[in-house]
Amino acid sequence: MADRRLLLASRNSKKLVELTRVLAAAGIDGIEIVGLDDVPAYPEAPETGATFEANAIGKARDGAAATGLPCVADDSGLEVDALNGMPGVLSARWSGRHGDDVGNTALLLAQLADVPDARRGARFVSTCALVDPAADGTPVVVRGEWPGRILRAPRGEGGFGYDPVFVPTGADRTAAELAPAEKDAASHRGRALRYLIPTLAALGRPAER
């Protein structure tokens, strides 16, 4: 029987690589992972939800409805204690231009310039939603968090987004200095996706009679 296809609905190429890597590492049989470039284009709603959950569910519902495929979407961001949890759902466009990692990070560092080391705590959050149109369409929603602190200057070339200024709790390297597998093992996204593995594994199997 042909593999069942699973759509990963993300326009962020670096995030898409992470999502694909974690799911591939889980070694789920019978599922072929496809991205948005592999399916006909469909209108994508703006991410205007107040929570990661609302945005992730919206992206997964849109992808499933447009393609008929089971669809996983991630909505994620950085919550900084000294900024009362911001940038949060605004992380991708904090400096005003969507996906401007360098500008977003520079603005964050400027905002935290006067914040002493003891109050530079933060966490990455990833919420992933899975919607399967062949089931009843109820989203399965999981959440992973990665606690750490914000440095005063960027370090490292790996990862994306705020990784160069984020040092995970218990580590001395930034998230951008970790090898890809090290990031996956610890990160918010890795944690969230691992909670989805049992549900995804069941997708790949023919329905029980």
Ligand X SMILES: O=P(O)(O)OP(=O)(O)OP(=O)(O)OC[C@H]1O[C@@H](n2cnc3c(O)ncnc32)[C@H](O)[C@@H]1O
Q: Which residues are annotated as a binding site?
A: 10-15, 75-76, 160-163, 183, 188-189
Q: At closest approach, how far in Å is the CB of 206 from ligand X?
A: 30
Q: Which of 54, 135, 147, 160 binds ligand X (CB under 6 A)?
A: 160
Residue whose Cβ sits closest to ligand X: 161
Binding region for Mg(2+) = 75
Verify binding: residue 11, ligand X, rule CB under 6 A. yes
CA distance 61 to 9: 10
Percent of the chain as helix, strand, coil, to the nearest 5: 40, 20, 35
- The single residue of 74, 75, 132, 184 carrying the catalytic annotation is 75
Q: Which helix (H) or strand (E) holds 34?
A: strand 31-35
Restricting to residues 84-123, name those near Mg ion by CB under 5 A.
92
Residue 79 site contact among Mg ion, ligand X, none (CB < 5 to 8 Å, cut-off depends on kind):
none
Verify binding: residue 130, ligand X, rule CB under 6 A. no
Phi–psi pair at 99, nearest 5 degrees: 80, 10
Q: With contact defined as beta carbons under 8 Å apart, do 10 and 37 qualify?
A: no
CA distance 33 to 22: 11
Residues that bind Mg ion (CB under 5 A): 47, 92
